[in-house]
Amino acid sequence: MDLFEKRAFAMALSLLLVFLGLIVYAAKGLQTDLPTCLPPETARQFRKDVGSVVEIGPNRYQVNVVAFMWGFNMGTVNELRVPRGAVVDFYVTSRDVMHGYHIERTPVNLMAIPGAVTYARHKFDEPGEYMIICHEYCGLGHQNMAGKIIVE
């Protein structure tokens, strides 16, 4: 090994050590986290209301959806019942990987992202069944990941 090779090797090794040190500093010193879980405050709030339907007014509902492999927890797994004319706020997150949350025949089309909460509002004027599908490939059971909203 000549001197130039030794210097290149030493430089590469020291850069690796610097980057490793920065990763450790970011994780421990700056308390940054990979986006694999909700931020602590949001997580606490969601743990309280996780997968729930909250009546927030006359015919007004807040649905806290937690998507998972392979379903949607909306109080009841894969099923939500609301009366006709209900205005529903959807807050959607995921507890594992990325999923999609699309309600057929409505403009509701959200991503369920671990560590983030997405939002949409919809008024259900027409009674009937609305299928919810996951439109983001999320693993082997993806094709079976579906739910429904029953508007009574």
Residues forming the site for Cu ion (CB under 5 A): 134, 138, 142, 145
Cis peptide, bond prior to residue 70, ω within 30 of zero: yes
Cα–Cα distance list, 111 to 31, 119, 141 (Å): 26, 9, 17
Q: How far is the CB of 111 from Cu ion (least distance, A)?
A: 11
Contacts 24+ apart (CB under 8 A), 104-107: 104/130, 104/131, 104/132, 104/133, 105/130, 106/130
Of 87 and 111, the one with the shorter C-beta distance to Cu ion is 111
Of 39 and 141, the one with the shorter C-beta distance to Cu ion is 141
Of 80 and 145, the one with the shorter C-beta distance to Cu ion is 145
Cα–Cα distance list, 147 to 21, 32, 78, 103, 129 (Å): 45, 34, 4, 9, 10
Of 60 and 135, the one with the shorter C-beta distance to Cu ion is 135
Q: How far is the CB of 38 from Cu ion (least distance, A)?
A: 19
Q: How far is the CB of 147 from Cu ion (least distance, A)?
A: 12
Q: How far is the CB of 119 from Cu ion (least distance, A)?
A: 20
